[in-house]
């Protein structure tokens, strides 16, 4: 598989592998409100969907796939999209596409490093499936953007969530 220079790849590391407790973090959402992983735990499964950049074609396909399956996903898990994009870009992206999920801005690339998806220009397109206690139950490291929702739903099924 061809890799673009500067784009992240998934590098499993302690804390970011299946069976590990996911690293806690706090990031601003598209409106600038802080969102902490620890505050979301205990309310059911979570999907942390890393994507390279807001408003790019493949990222649009990935997020629209999740948006279009929102009714199915919302019954099973809460979805968080995470990218290096800034708040203004994420806000425009969310509004333009009517995205129901919370988009988080990892502009300092800290969370991408914690989860082993760091790239100089953009994080890897990887999704982590967490149970309600924050344990990583699945990692989707070969995301197919246009059918990502189906991948997430299958991972939730396979994990018994």
pTM: 0.94
List, in order, residues 6 or more apart from 90 with CB less than 8 Å away.
29, 30, 54, 83, 103, 104, 105
Task: Write down the pLDDT at residue 51.
Answer: 95
3-17, 37-51, 98-112, range with the lowest pLDDT:
3-17
Q: Which two tokens stand for residue 40?
A: 């979301």
Residue at 13 is within a domain: no
Residue at 21 is within a domain: no
Residue at 4 is within a domain: no
Residue at 7 is within a domain: no
User: pLDDT tens across 32-83, in order?
Assistant: 999 999 999 999 999 999 999 999 999 999 999 999 999 999 999 999 999 9
Residue at 9 is within a domain: no
Active site residues: 59
- Specify the CATH number for the domain of residue 73: 3.40.30.10
Give the whole-angstrom CA distance, residue 41 versus residue 39.
Answer: 6
- The number of distinct structural domains making up the chain is 1
Residue at 95 is within a domain: yes
Residue at 12 is within a domain: no
Bigger pLDDT: 41 vs 6: 41
Task: Write down the pLDDT at residue 5.
Answer: 47
Domain holding 100, by residue range, is 26-158
Residue at 125 is within a domain: yes
Beta bridge partners of 80: 48, 102
Task: Write down the pLDDT at residue 6.
Answer: 53
């Amino acid at each position: 598989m061809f890799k673009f220079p500067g784009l992240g790849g998934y590098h499993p590391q302690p804390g970011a592998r299946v069976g590990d407790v996911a690293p806690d973090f706090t990031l601003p959402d598209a409106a600038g409100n802080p969102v902490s992983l620890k505050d979301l735990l205990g309310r059911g499964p979570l999907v942390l969907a890393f994507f390279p950049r807001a408003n790019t074609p493949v990222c649009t396909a990935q997020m629209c796939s999740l948006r279009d399956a929102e009714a199915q996903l919302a019954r099973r898990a809460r979805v968080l999209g995470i990218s290096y994009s800034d708040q203004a870009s994420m806000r425009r992206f969310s509004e333009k596409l009517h995205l129901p999920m919370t988009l988080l801005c990892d502009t300092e690339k800290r969370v991408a490093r914690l989860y082993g998806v760091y790239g100089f220009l953009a994080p890897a397109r990887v999704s982590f499936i967490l149970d309600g206690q924050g344990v990583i139950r699945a990692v989707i490291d070969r995301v197919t953007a246009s059918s990502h929702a189906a991948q997430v739903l299958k991972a939730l099924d396979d994990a018994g969530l």
